Structure 1
Amino acid sequence: MARRGQRQSGATRSATPRRRRVRDAEGIMPVLARAVREVEGAVQRGTVQPSVRTKFQVIALLVREERARVNADQSAAEADRTKQLRRLDGIATILAKTAARDTSLLALLAEDATVSPAAAALKREMMLDAGLEAPAEEPKRPAPAPTTNSTARQVVPQSVVQRQLANPFLAPDFSSPAPKQVRPQRLAGWELLGPLFKSFEYATASASKSLPEPTSLRTANSQELMRHQARLIAAVTGGHRTFLLADEPGLGKTAQALLAAQAANAYPLLAVVPNVVKTNWAREAGLWTPRRKPTVIQGDGDTIDGFADIVIVNYEVLDRHVGWLGDLGFRGMVVDEAHFIKNKKSQRSQNVLHLSDRIRSRTNRPLLMALTGTPLINDIEDFAAIWQFLGWIDDKSPRAELTEKLEQSGLTPADPGFYAAARASVIDLGIVRRRKVDVAADIPARRVADLPVELDDAAGRSIRAAERELADRLVARYHAVLAARDNADETDGIDHDLVRRVAEWERAESAKSKSGDNIFNLVRRIGAAKAGMAADYAAQLAHNVGKVVFFARHIEVLDAAENLFAERGIQFSSIRGDQSRTTRQKNIDAFVNDPEVSIAVCSLLTAGVGLNLQVASNVVLAELSWTNAEQEQAIDRVHRIGQSDPVTAWRIIAAQTIDTRIADLIDSKAGLAARALDGSDEELTSSADFQLEALTALLTKALTETPS
C-alpha cells in the first residue's frame, strides 16, 4: 500500500490516531487497483509467496463486497454505478488472468474458501487505507498447521505400507561425499540465470559433454550396447551423477537410463514417464536390468509391488502419489520426455521438483537424469525447470557446483568470453546430445522398435473381454468336435490339426460377417483404442526431431490422429485413398517441402506404396499390418534412395491383447522371407493367412491355459 513504510505495530497503531480519508467518488478503487497490480507482477515473476496469496484472496473478497454494495445502492446515479461496476470488472479480469498463470490461486476464489487471520488483518488494513470503516480486530488464534498447495487426492498403496512397516527406520544415504558449499566471490551480486540461458540461445556448436571411452560394449547380462550408449554408462561408472540426456529418439535413452542406475546402484529408482511409454519402461527394465524388478503404478497403485527396485509412474497420476513417493527413499530419479515439465508453475512440474528436492535432501549425489529429444537450441528458458530438477540451479541462481565452475572461469557477464565459458560449464554438468547422423555407424540403417502400450481404460477392458469370449468360443468348438469323435478318449494333448481346422472355420465365418466379436472387428477395436496414444507419441516425435510419417489402417484411427494434431496446433498432411490425384499430390508436396508441416497422416492400405517421404526418418505404425510385406512397404516410403539418416519405425502394440501375437507373426514371417531370399528352399506361407495364424495362436494359448 501507499504508506507501507510508515505502518506501526498493532499496539502502537491503536494508541495513535490515524488520519482517515473521507470517502469520495473513488473510495476503495485506487487501493484495489494498486494491490491487484502488485499481485499480478509477483505472479508474472514467479514469486508467489504466502503474502501474495493472502493479498490475492483479500482483493477478491473486497471486489465481491464492493460489487454487492454498488448494486444495492439505489441512491447512486446509473452512470456512476455502471462506471464502478466496469472498474470492478477490470480488477476481476486481472485476478482471473493471474489465477490462470498459477492455478493454485483458483481455490482462493471459492465462496467457502477459508479466510486466515492474516487475510482478515490485511482486509482491515486495506479498508482503512480506503477511508472505510473496518471491522474490529479479532483476537489472535494459534497458527494452523502448514498444508500443501496440492488439492489432489493422496493415496498410499497397501504394498507401500507393508514396505514402510518392514523398514520403518529408513536412514538417509550420505555415503557419498556431500557437495561442498561455494560462495560467489567475483560473481557476487550478478544476475546469472539470464546470461546462462543466453549463452545457449546464441550458440551454434553442438552441446554435448565429453564422455569417456567404454572398456566394454556388453552389459552384465551379455546384452550388446552401441558405443554411444556405453560411453554414457562409463561416465556414470566414473562417478558422474546428473545428465540432461537429449539424444534423438531411436538412440536408446531408456536403456541408458536403466543401465546408468545399475552402474550407480541408484536403487530404488523412480521413473516419471508419459503414459504412452510406461509399459515399455517395464519391458525395457526386464531386458536390460533383469535382476531389478520394476513395478508400474496404475491409478491408485493397488496392483504395484511396494518392494520393487524400479517404480514407474506416469505424469497424469503423479499428483496422487507424490506424498509416499517422497518418503520411499529413492536414490535415483529419471524424468522421461522432460520437456513436459518446462512450465514451472504447472502441477506436474511442482511435483517433479518436490520429489527431486526430497531425494537430494536424503542422498548425497543421487543419480538424476532428464531424458528429452528436444534440441537445446530452441526456447532455452524452457529448460530452467529441468536444470532445477537436476540440482544445477535453484529459483534465482546457480547452485554450488555450477557456481564454482563459473568462478573458475575468472569472468563476469560483462566480459566478452563469459558466454562461451558459461555454456561450457553447464554442458560439463551433464548435457549429452547425440543425433542419429552422428552415430550412424553404431545403429542399423533401418530398425523396427516396438512400443507396448497398456489399454487400462474402459475400452481396453472391453477389448480384453471380447478376446476372452472369442477364445472361449474357439475352445468350445474344439471340444465339441473332439467329443463327437469315435476315438475322442484316445486323444493325447492338443490336436494341432483340429486346432487349425477350427481356426479355418472361424476365419471363414468372420470374413462373411461384419458384426460380432470376430478377429477383424477385434483388431479394429484395438486400433481405435490405441489411436490416441499412437498420435500422442507421433506428436512427441515431431516436437523432438521434426518430420514424422504416421500410418494407420482404419478411418477412425486416421481421424482421431488428425483431431489430436489439430487440437495441439501441429500442421499435418493427410494422404488417403479417397482423395483425388491432385489433392493427394498437393498434400505430399506440402509435407516434403513445407518445414511447418510436421506429420504425414497416411492410410496403410493406399499410401504404403508409390510415395517418396524420405524427408522424414521416423515412422509411427499406429496399427499392425496383416502381412509383413505391407509393413515393409510402409517403412520403405521413408527408407529409400536419398535417405541419409537411419530410419526407425515405432510400432505401437497393445499389451496383453492379440496385438502382441500378430506382431510376433509379422516378425516370424519377416525372418522366413529373409531366409527364402537368401536361397532357402523352405516354402513361404501365404501372407493372406495371417488371420488364420492369429486365430490358431489364440486357440492354442487358450487350450494350454484351460484345464482339460
Structure 2
Amino acid sequence: MARPSGQRGSGRARTDSGGQRRRAPSRPAEKELIPVLAEVARDVDRAVQKPPTRPVVRTKFQVVALLVREERARVMADTEMGGARRTEQLKRLDGVATMLAKTAARDTSLLALLADDARVTDAARAFKATVMRAGGMEPPDEPEPTPPPAPTPTANNQVVPRSVISRQLANPFLAPDFEAAAERSAARARRLAGWELLEPLFRSFEYAATGQPACMALPEPRPVPLPAGRELMPHQAQVVAATSRGHRTFLLADEPGLGKTAQALLAAQAADAYPLLVVVPNVVKTNWAHEVSLWTPFRRATVVHGDGEQVDAFADVVIVNYEILDRHVGWLGDFGFRGMVVDEAHFIKNKSSQRSQHVLNLSERIRTRTARPLLMALTGTPLINDIEDFRAIWQFLGWIDDAKPLGKLMTALEETGLTPADPGFYAAARASVIDMGIVRRRKADVVADIPARRVADLPVELDGAVGRSIRAAEEALTNRLVQRYRAAIENRGDGAIVGGMIDHDLVRRVAAGELKDSSSKASGENVFTMVRRIGQAKAGLAADYAAQLARNVGKVVFFAKHVDVMDQAEQTFADRGIRYASIRGEQTTKAREKAITAFTEDPEVEIVVCSLLAAGVGLNLQVASNLVLAELSWTDAEQTQAIDRIHRIGQSEPVTAWRIIAAQTIDAKIAELIDSKSALAARALDGADDEDASSSTDVQLETLVSLLTDALTTDTVI
C-alpha cells in the first residue's frame, strides 16, 4: 500500500535479489524531523539575542512552531506507534516548544506569529517544505485555495460605533430619493435582448484597441475655488469640470503622481456628494485624511480604526481601509452616503474575495438609496492588461451587473444599431464603455502640466503596540527636555519668567545640551534612537506602497538608510513575488554592477532597494521615474542626491519622490525642517560636495527646539 504523503520511511528489512533479507539503509534525507526543528529553533534563538529580529528569522520561528504543532497532532493520531515511543516523541516536541517560548520571551512580537489566523507567507511555505524534506518527510501538495463565502450583513464580527448610533438618533430618517428607482428602470434591452454582451465588451478593449490610452472626452478646465496655496493642474481640473457638468461615474486610471486623490476630493465637492465614503489600502489611510484638510478644508474627515471607537459620525468624509471593512459594512451601508471612492481599485478585481463583495454590496446600497451618486474607482493599473480584472470595478460603478450592461451603457449599446455579430460592434462598444467615465492619462501625456521633479509626502499611521511605544518614547523625551528647562529656570536665580513667557535662548541651550548627550550615546531614549525606531516601524508600510507603485507604473527605486529596513522591504517584495535588485554598502564592485544591470535591463526586475548612503551618489537609474524614500535623512542634500539618481539626463518623464512620513510623530517635524532648510543643501545639487557641514546638526537641534517649544506652549506645562 502506498505510504501517505508526509509519513516517514519505516526503515524495515527488505529482500535483495538473492533472496537474503537485509536492513534498508537510511537515506541522508530521512533523518528525523524533531532534531531538525530543534536545530532551527536554536538558530532562531541565537539570532533573536542580537536584535533587531530580521524577517527571515521571524519566518523560521513561525515555520518551526507550525511543524511542532502538526507533528504533535500526527504523533497523537498514529495508532501504530507504541506508547513509550509516543511519550518520548511528545517529550522531545515539548522541548522544542519550550525553546520557542523562551525565544518569544526575548521578542514578544513573535507571539503574533503563533495565532491561528497568522498569515503564512509564500516564503514561509517554501521554508516549511525545505525543513520537512530535511527531516525525511515529503511535503504535501498545497491545496487549491477555495474562495471565501460571500459575506453576510449579519456577520458576528460587525460593530456599530457609538458615534454612529448618536448620529442615527439625531437624524433617524433619511429622505427618500425617488429618482433612484426611476433611473434603475430607465434602460432595458430591446434589440440586444438575448445577446451575450459582457464578454464582447471586455474583448472590445483587445480587438478595437487604438494604441492610445482609453480616455473619455473631457471638457476644458474651468477655474475651481481652491484653498490658499493650492494649485490644480489643467488635467486635474478637467475631471472636476466633467463632474460639475453632471458626470457621476469615473474609472480614474491616471498614472501615480498625477493627483488622483485631489481630483476625487474636488469632484466630490463639485457634486456635493457628502457624506462621502472612501475605501483605501491601510498604507494611504492617513494620507487621505491629510489630503481632505488640504483640498477641502471646510469638510471634516474621520478615519475608521479597529472597531471605530474614535469615529466622528458627523464628519463629511469617512475613510476606511479594506482590511477592516468586514466589521463596518453593516452601518456603512445604512449611513446615507451620496458618494463613494475606492482607491487602488484593482484590489477588488477578484469578485469572490470578501473585500470585493463588501465594496460591491456598499455600492449597490448607495445606488439603491441615492439617484446618481458620485462613484469613483481610482487605480493606476493600465487598462490594457487583463481587462476582465475590471469586471468588479465596472459593477461597482453600476455599469454592469453579473449578467448584462445596465442603465446608460445598455442604452448606448442599443443606440449603436449593432450586434456582436457585426464587424463594427467592438469599436462602438469600446467607445461606449469609455464614455461611461474611463479617464487614463500618463505622465508623458500631461508633461507640460506637472513639474519635472517633485517630492510628495505620504503620511502613514503607526498603529498597534509599535505606534504606542514610539509615541510614549517621544513623550518621555519631551518630558525630559521640559524638566531640564524648568530646572534651569529654578536654578538661574532671577526667578520664573514674568507672565509665563518662554525664554527661547534657554530653550536652544537646553536642546543643545540634549543633542550633545544624545551624540555621546548616553543611555535612554534620544532623538537618534527615536528616528531609528520610526524608520523600522515604517519599513513595512513603505514597502507596501513601493509594491503598489511597481504594479501600477513599473520600475521603482526604494531608498532606506538602515540595513534592517532594507531587509524587511526585500522580504515584503519576495513574499509578493516581486523581483528586486539590491545595492548596499558592503557589496563588491562586481555585485553592485550586476544589481544595477539587472534593474536597468531586465524587465522582470521591478524594484531596486538602495542604501541611502551607499547608493545616493554615482548611480544612473533613470529607467524609473518613481522613487520611495522609506526613511528621512537629516539633510535636504542627501534626499536630493537620492532623487537625482533618476532625475538625470536621459530621463524622459517627470520624476516623483514619495516620502513616507510617520504621522503624529517627530518624523513630521523633521520633514518640515528639512524642507525649510533646503537652501542649505543647494550647493550639493548636481553632485557637488561642498555642502554646509552644519546643516544636519541644525535640523537635529531644531527638531529638539520644536519639541520643547510645543510642550512649553501647552497649558499643562506653563
Q: Is the counterpart of residue 625 in structure 1 residue 630 in structure 2?
A: no
- Give the counterpart letter for 2:411 in structure 1: E
Pairing partner for 2:169 from 149, 165, 171: 165
Secondary structure of the corresponding residue to residue 530 of structure 1:
helix
* Structure 2 counterpart of 1:612: 620
* Structure 2 counterpart of 1:283: 290
* Structure 2 counterpart of 1:567: 575
**Where does 1:218-237 land on structure 2 (aligned, <5 Å)?**
218-219=225-226, 223-237=230-244
Distance 1:461 1:103, change over 3 A: same
**Where does 1:662-681 land on structure 2 (aligned, <5 Å)?**
662-671=670-679
Offset from partner CA, 1:585-643 (integer Å, 9 cap, x none):
10011001111111110011111100000110101000000111000000110111111
Counterpart CA distance in 1 for 2:206 and 2:424 is: 15
Secondary structure of the corresponding residue to residue 644 of structure 1:
coil
Residue 572 of structure 1 contacts residue 600 of structure 1 at CA under 8 Å; is this kept in 2? yes
Shift of 1:550: 0.5
Shift of 1:478: 1.4
Q: Is the counterpart of residue 197 in structure 1 residue 202 in structure 2?
A: yes
Secondary structure of the corresponding residue to residue 272 of structure 1:
strand
* Structure 2 counterpart of 1:583: 591
Q: Is the counterpart of residue 323 in structure 1 residue 330 in structure 2?
A: yes
* Structure 2 counterpart of 1:185: 190
Distance 1:515 1:385, change over 3 A: farther
**Where does 1:394-409 land on structure 2 (aligned, <5 Å)?**
394-409=401-416
Residue 104 of structure 1 contacts residue 149 of structure 1 at CA under 8 Å; is this kept in 2? no
Counterpart CA distance in 2 for 1:183 and 1:287 is: 43
Distance 1:153 1:637, change over 3 A: same
Distance 1:361 1:101, change over 3 A: same
* Structure 2 counterpart of 1:102: 147
**Where does 1:218-617 land on structure 2 (aligned, <5 Å)?**
218-219=225-226, 223-490=230-497, 493-513=501-521, 515-617=523-625
* Structure 1 counterpart of 2:23: none
Residue 216 of structure 2 contacts residue 438 of structure 2 at CA under 8 Å; is this kept in 1? yes
Residue 556 of structure 2 contacts residue 626 of structure 2 at CA under 8 Å; is this kept in 1? yes
* Structure 1 counterpart of 2:64: none
Counterpart CA distance in 1 for 2:251 and 2:337 is: 19
Residue 380 of structure 2 contacts residue 553 of structure 2 at CA under 8 Å; is this kept in 1? yes
Residue 333 of structure 1 contacts residue 356 of structure 1 at CA under 8 Å; is this kept in 2? yes
Q: Is the counterpart of residue 638 in structure 1 residue 646 in structure 2?
A: yes
RMSD across aligned C-alpha pairs, in angstroms? 2.2
Shift of 1:685: 5.5
**Where does 1:30-41 land on structure 2 (aligned, <5 Å)?**
none
- Give the counterpart letter for 1:293 in structure 2: R
Aligned residues: 569
- Give the counterpart letter for 2:243 in structure 1: V
Secondary structure of the corresponding residue to residue 628 of structure 2:
strand
Distance 1:346 1:514, change over 3 A: farther
Counterpart CA distance in 1 for 2:430 and 2:436 is: 10
The normalised TM-score by structure 2 is: 0.76
Shift of 1:687: 3.0
Offset from partner CA, 1:254-304 (integer Å, 9 cap, x none):
111111111111111000011111111111111111111111101111111
Secondary structure of the corresponding residue to residue 364 of structure 1:
coil
Shift of 1:684: 9.7
Counterpart CA distance in 2 for 1:664 and 1:222 is: 16
* Structure 1 counterpart of 2:706: 697
Shift of 1:672: 5.5
Secondary structure of the corresponding residue to residue 184 of structure 1:
coil
Distance 1:626 1:287, change over 3 A: same
Secondary structure of the corresponding residue to residue 449 of structure 1:
strand
Distance 1:487 1:149, change over 3 A: closer
Q: Which moved more, 1:216-225 or 1:334-343?
A: 216-225
Q: Which moved more, 1:227-236 or 1:396-405?
A: 396-405
* Structure 1 counterpart of 2:717: 707
Secondary structure of the corresponding residue to residue 432 of structure 2:
helix
Larger radius of gyration: 1
Residue 227 of structure 2 contacts residue 294 of structure 2 at CA under 8 Å; is this kept in 1? no
Distance 1:312 1:149, change over 3 A: closer
Q: Which moved more, 1:208-217 or 1:569-578?
A: 208-217
Pairing partner for 2:658 from 650, 660, 666: 650
Residue 392 of structure 1 contacts residue 401 of structure 1 at CA under 8 Å; is this kept in 2? yes
Shift of 1:403: 1.2
Residue 548 of structure 1 contacts residue 620 of structure 1 at CA under 8 Å; is this kept in 2? yes
* Structure 2 counterpart of 1:154: 158
Counterpart CA distance in 1 for 2:711 and 2:366 is: 46
Secondary structure of the corresponding residue to residue 291 of structure 2:
helix
Distance 1:221 1:358, change over 3 A: farther
Residue 255 of structure 2 contacts residue 441 of structure 2 at CA under 8 Å; is this kept in 1? yes
Offset from partner CA, 1:200-229 (integer Å, 9 cap, x none):
134233200010002225537673211001
Shift of 1:375: 0.3
- Give the counterpart letter for 2:172 in structure 1: P
Residue 503 of structure 1 contacts residue 695 of structure 1 at CA under 8 Å; is this kept in 2? yes
Shift of 1:178: 2.5
Structure 1 unaligned spans of 5+:
1-70, 72-92, 106-146, 678-682
Residue 515 of structure 1 contacts residue 521 of structure 1 at CA under 8 Å; is this kept in 2? no
The normalised TM-score by structure 1 is: 0.78
Counterpart CA distance in 2 for 1:672 and 1:173 is: 59
Counterpart CA distance in 1 for 2:188 and 2:256 is: 39
Residue 455 of structure 1 contacts residue 655 of structure 1 at CA under 8 Å; is this kept in 2? yes
Distance 1:634 1:308, change over 3 A: same
Shift of 1:660: 0.5
Secondary structure of the corresponding residue to residue 383 of structure 1:
helix
Distance 1:167 1:94, change over 3 A: farther
Counterpart CA distance in 1 for 2:250 and 2:429 is: 17
* Structure 1 counterpart of 2:114: none
Residue 637 of structure 2 contacts residue 682 of structure 2 at CA under 8 Å; is this kept in 1? no
- Give the counterpart letter for 2:627 in structure 1: V
Residue 497 of structure 2 contacts residue 503 of structure 2 at CA under 8 Å; is this kept in 1? no
Structure 2 unaligned spans of 5+:
1-78, 80-139, 686-691
Residue 255 of structure 1 contacts residue 284 of structure 1 at CA under 8 Å; is this kept in 2? yes
Shift of 1:173: 2.8
Residue 622 of structure 1 contacts residue 651 of structure 1 at CA under 8 Å; is this kept in 2? yes
Shift of 1:172: 2.5
Residue 217 of structure 1 contacts residue 226 of structure 1 at CA under 8 Å; is this kept in 2? no
- Give the counterpart letter for 1:481 in structure 2: A
Counterpart CA distance in 2 for 1:435 and 1:252 is: 12
Counterpart CA distance in 1 for 2:141 and 2:552 is: 35
Counterpart CA distance in 1 for 2:611 and 2:403 is: 50
Counterpart CA distance in 1 for 2:588 and 2:306 is: 46
Distance 1:350 1:515, change over 3 A: farther
Counterpart CA distance in 2 for 1:222 and 1:504 is: 34
Shift of 1:694: 1.2
